[in-house]
Chain A
């Protein structure tokens, strides 16, 4: 049966697998299956559905922002509400959409990739998912609290946060819970990867996706408590008379920024490293050639993770750091271009003299490489402190981080859905629809965000509800693109996700991709409820089961 649908549900077009039938009487059914879920596949599905819901909510907020910015003047929202939209769009997309989506992928794929029967701590896994629900409800419901949702930007800079209404406390509490969920998820992933690999699956034979998640999980454990500290200090400043960040009591608002970005910069790599992992799986599969420089890919990922801890203050060049501080953070930041470049070059070398086909997952992966690299270039430009003085806090930065977060993380997530979706659901997506989704998204993405570079260079500050008339045309282009991009994602849900989940479509073979490698292709499609209950015997490359 499909692992996505209830075990006894009607799944059109294909039969259950005898392999797991004898387990059915253990598995709870109906709502219990999901609420008490301990199966990594079910929990992965829950994570993915949750994150897609949040993506839609965050997307609606983005479209509210773009609607307001379509022309000068305030047509729809007052500036206070506008600030709530920008803030909540950021928080929901980062903590609700992108991060949980990658955890969903980790849940589904890591046990399958390393030949483990499940995640190490199945009940904690359940808990870390179900913590997200009250957190998300609290976060979104803060719109209906007196004074509206938090409006201090997703970075929650003090002392503006000290002026916010009660929703700020709800937001802080929500982030505490999401942080706890992330930490539990990370512990689970680390323990699973380090302890539960099948015999013969040595670390340096492990699939890149598992590697990138292992490194990401360490990053998460290192920095989520830092965020928790920063927002807890904000909370005590607000209510218990402390003055960590409140200048009126001798506190230092810039200290907040240091602490926040010490979390925030590794956080952006938390959102991109697993994306690198997904792309590193897909490119070799469709180039029909092994990943070039596997070891250097692992080292580059680790280098990026380590460097991410020493670059945080490049978000703060405009705060007025001493000259040595500016120089150090500028140099360190530019250094990140080196391991990131290595990854791009390795992907190209993998494609070089391959035998490529361009099914939808490969399109998304190549699209990722192309557009993410543009975000990398603008990152390099932002890293230059003198140029950053011009573009800090302008639309240039907005363009930059959407190029790496949407065209980076989100594109890789889509690539992954098309690549592994047949394994999850047991049916193939429609190739035509996948291509429409890809090309539509690629075009509208660039229509939305490319003009923002110009707006930023011309000095349009971000988080502005209204702007000088000279910026009108580019804002209109961006707004048109944004609505197109939003519609493409609705199309994706209705015409790709829903049919796959309902089992409508061509039956997926065990290995739908000719040259895909890895243990996930050694189990049937859809992946049975239980897999690898006995540790599999692996061949020398640890990509196939023998005997």
Chain B
């Protein structure tokens, strides 16, 4: 089995593979999928391999709880099953007459109380450590959108960088196909991973644009709801260079399963290099919304914007699906007056399942509108300029 090639990371993973082997007998040939380093393992049985102190503490607490619960389990059910086997009528057991004992009642109230206190003490330390988001080296705002993550580097090295991270479009189509090709990072591949330096305290401020999302990376021991209208924060200090994965953890609508989180932890030097490249890229990309564009250039850009954002629902050929409106031959798209289409893109039509796209730049929205007006059977020849979007935003 190919999964046997996967590196042994922990005893639990080995058990996982054993379970998989048993399962493979029952459910046919195993899929050719390996453990994803920094993401889920094949049939992983325990928490992710921790790469932060918090995650390590959580792992320790979980094991500690498992041991205590197992001990109680054995004691309690040892008694129960002993009783079940011995105190049977069929074995001639005659029932005793006792039915109360204040001493025993007090004992089994006090002892569990003490055990619970013993559990709460180590947990308290971890709670306090988890909530300490002070003295961060880098502060990044993670904004949940339906259905992607936006990252803005607010403070520290890389300040000013901002980008969106969307699930790989091809993987999304694979999901729709019903028979996705086995890949290790299925549904976890994004176009722009979040890049952070190793061994630096990174504070993540979460918020959201529309509904509640949750930003989680199991290997970091981090999960924080991203709440529209409010900011919350969490932090991590990754100790190992590598790729780490998580997914949105709060139901946020149709594409909830399709807004993964990919964090690339890099060395300090690589981070500095990445920041330089990214900042140059940002400067080059910054569009002047008052620029007047050629139609062909807008259509070319719009095609990319469409593929990255719209094709998931409206389909590459603009045909829509079920309740999702077709853009091909849509009167709103074909209209001489561009305003309605721009408004729908900017503000969404949530009653019809269309989210707001105001986070896209004016030029991107103008480009995608121009693209839809001149694609498939739509041959309007119209051009939407960024200035019209600027006007519509007001």
Contacts and interface: CB of A to CB of B under 8 A. Distances in A.
Contacts of A291: 99
A307 to B, nearest CB: 12
A480 B26 CA distance: 11
B185 to A, nearest CB: 8
Nearest to A254: B227
A342 B100 contact: no
A165 interface: yes
Nearest to B96: A353
B176 A335 contact: no
Given A157-B251, A319-B225, A373-B73, A476 B40 contact: no
Contacts of B290: none
A295 B109 CA distance: 14
Contacts of B55: 390
Interface string B225-243: 1011110111000000000
A293 B350 CA distance: 57
Given A78-B322, A79-B255, A470 B127 contact: no
Nearest to A479: B27
Given A348-B80, A390-B221, A463 B256 contact: yes
A73 B225 contact: no
A476 B55 CA distance: 29
Contacts of A459: 40, 48, 216, 218, 246-247
Contacts of A394: 249
B105 A351 contact: no
Interface in B84-128: 84, 87-90, 93-101, 104-105, 108-109, 112-113, 116, 119-120, 123-124, 126-128
Given A292-B99, A338-B112, A454-B44, A390 B254 contact: no
Given A354-B93, A370-B80, A469-B31, A160 B88 contact: no
A252 B119 contact: no
B322 A353 contact: no
Interface stretch (B207-215, B334-342, B361-369): B207-215
Contacts of A248: 228-229
Interface residues of B, number: 119
Contacts of B183: 469
Interface of A (DSSP majority class):
helix
A522 interface: no
Interface in B143-172: none
A406 to B, nearest CB: 19
A380 B69 contact: yes
A464 B127 contact: no
A442 interface: no
Interface string B165-206: 000000000111111101111111000000000000000001
B53 to A, nearest CB: 11
Contact of A469 (B178, B184, B234, B250): B184
Q: Which of A341, A469, A477 has the most CB of B within 10 A?
A: A469
Nearest to A147: B323
A348 to B, nearest CB: 5
Given A289-B99, A338-B112, A469-B33, A83 B87 contact: no
A351 B48 contact: no
A153 B228 CA distance: 18
Interface stretch (A99-107, A219-227, A326-334, A529-537): A326-334
A159 B43 contact: no
A385 B127 contact: yes
Contacts of B48: 458-459
Contacts of A73: 174-180
Interface in A359-402: 366, 369-370, 373-374, 377, 380-381, 384-387, 389-390, 392-394
B23 interface: yes
Interface stretch (B56-64, B134-142, B266-274, B325-333): B56-64
A259 to B, nearest CB: 15
Contacts of B95: 287-289, 353-355, 515
B96 A289 contact: yes
B246 A330 contact: no
Contacts of A355: 87-89, 93-95
Contacts of B222: 389
Contact of A341 (B65, B112, B188, B233): B112
B359 interface: no
A338 B224 contact: no
Interface in A29-52: none
Contacts of A374: 73
Given A73-B179, A318-B223, A473-B19, A465 B257 contact: yes
Contact of A389 (B19, B65, B83, B221): B221
A198 B222 CA distance: 58
Given A289-B99, A390-B47, A465-B257, A83 B251 contact: yes
A544 B82 CA distance: 33
A466 B175 contact: yes
A357 B80 contact: no
A163 B350 contact: yes
Q: Which of A80, A377, A384 has the most CB of B within 10 A?
A: A384
A327 B124 contact: yes
Contacts of B36: 468, 470
B39 A468 contact: yes
A330 B127 contact: yes
A7 B11 CA distance: 65
B212 A253 contact: yes
A74 interface: yes
A320 interface: yes
A68 to B, nearest CB: 10
Contacts of B47: 390, 457-458
B284 interface: no
B227 A474 contact: no
B376 interface: no
B89 A380 contact: no
B253 interface: yes
Nearest to A78: B322
B275 interface: no
Interface in A305-333: 318-320, 322-323, 326-327, 330-331
B259 to A, nearest CB: 11
Contacts of B182: 469
Interface string A339-358: 00110110011111111111
A337 B227 contact: no
Contacts of B24: 473
A370 to B, nearest CB: 7
Interface string B16-28: 1001100110010
B256 A83 contact: yes
Interface in B1-55: 16, 19-20, 23-24, 27, 30-31, 33, 35-36, 39-48, 54-55
B227 A253 contact: yes
B353 interface: yes
A85 to B, nearest CB: 13
B94 to A, nearest CB: 6
A151 to B, nearest CB: 8
Given A157-B212, A160-B253, A454 B87 contact: no
A375 to B, nearest CB: 12
24 contacts: A72-B187, A78-B254, A78-B322, A152-B251, A165-B351, A247-B230, A254-B227, A292-B100, A296-B100, A318-B214, A327-B124, A338-B116, A348-B83, A351-B83, A355-B88, A355-B93, A356-B88, A386-B57, A390-B223, A454-B44, A463-B256, A468-B40, A470-B184, A473-B20
Interface of A: 72-75, 78-80, 83, 147, 151-153, 157, 159-160, 162-163, 165, 247-248, 250-254, 287-296, 318-320, 322-323, 326-327, 330-331, 334-335, 337-338, 341-342, 344-345, 348-358, 366, 369-370, 373-374, 377, 380-381, 384-387, 389-390, 392-394, 454, 457-461, 463-474, 476-477, 480, 515
Given A461-B216, A477-B23, 14 more contacts: A73-B176, A74-B178, A157-B211, A163-B350, A247-B230, A248-B229, A294-B100, A330-B120, A341-B108, A345-B108, A356-B89, A366-B80, A466-B258, A468-B185
